[in-house]
Amino acid sequence: MRIDVLTLFPDMFASPLSLSIVKRAQHRGLVQIALSNIRDFAANSYKKVDDTPYGGGPGMVMMPRPVLECLENVQKQESLNGRVILLTPQGRKFDQKLAKELAAEQRIILIAGHYEGFDERIRIVANAEEVSIGDYVLSGGELAAMVIIDAVVRLLPGSLGDEDSAANDSFSDGLLEYPQYTRPEEFNGLKVPDVLLSGNHAQIDKWRKQQAIEKTKANRPDLLDDNKKSENKI
């Protein structure tokens, strides 16, 4: 899989892409991640990439030409026509279902903006989908792009160690995880529940399932809705 990221701040990606699972996946050749700086495609000598909104209003808008020329540049580097994704607060909300969809693609192109937003003609000319990572306000699309890269890359076959992928399969039942414990048996006067020390695996499974249901009721009652459970396994 190839992932392109178009951004004004490519340096923000250095650390997340050079750590843990994403790094390993790149080394294993499962994914190639290419960063492009939109500012390299600014025409004028002072490298302007944003301008004031027609009709007035606060902030600045990303200009179409630098973004679309940057996109054209990455598209000509590779014949695969990837899905083009604009990171915006107005987009389809990213979830595990979309992560799985994107992990099945051969190429995705993520465009991270800054300022108040993108000139609408970028979406139209690029035939881009808009994606948001949730209902909160970020200062740009870069962190959203990193979230998507992390969630997608760990789904690529061969990306995780054997233990991780096995664990992932058996617990994608739409509930939150049950509480976990490790040594010591007693910490700050708090004991590990007896059932986990009992060696009775039927009882342990039953306890974990019950705890998972309780946790989900308390923190994410929306997940107990049957439809959501099947469409968005976490």
Dihedral angle computed from the Cα positions of residues 75, 105, 6 and 153, in that order, rounded to the nearest 10 degrees? -140
Q: Which is nearer to ligand 9D3, 92 or 217 (CB)?
A: 92
Q: Tokens in use for 38?
A: 């939109």
Q: Does 141 bind ligand 9D3 (CB under 6 A)?
A: yes
d(CA 161, CA 17): 18
Q: Applying CB under 6 A, which part among 36-44, 63-71, 82-90, 188-196 lies near ligand 9D3?
A: 82-90
Q: Could you say which of 2, 89, 214, 220 is catalytic?
A: 89
Q: Applying CB under 6 A, which part among 6-14, 98-106, 126-134, 177-185 lies near ligand 9D3?
A: 126-134
Q: In a 3-state reduction of DSSP, which class is residue 51?
A: strand
d(CA 77, CA 36): 12
Helices and strands in the chain: count of H runs, count of E runs: 10, 10
- Per CB under 6 A, the list member of 29, 137, 170, 218 interacting with ligand 9D3 is 137
Q: In a 3-state reduction of DSSP, which class is residue 184?
A: coil
Give catalytic status of residue 66 as yes or no: no
Q: Does 87 bind ligand 9D3 (CB under 6 A)?
A: yes
d(CA 224, CA 44): 54
Q: Does 132 bind ligand 9D3 (CB under 6 A)?
A: yes
d(CA 157, CA 114): 33
- Per CB under 6 A, the list member of 101, 120, 134, 166 interacting with ligand 9D3 is 134
Q: Tokens in use for 191?
A: 């004991």
Q: Does 136 bind ligand 9D3 (CB under 6 A)?
A: yes
- Per CB under 6 A, the list member of 21, 33, 60, 138 interacting with ligand 9D3 is 138
Contacts to ligand 9D3 by CB under 6 A: 87-89, 113, 116-117, 132-134, 136-141, 144
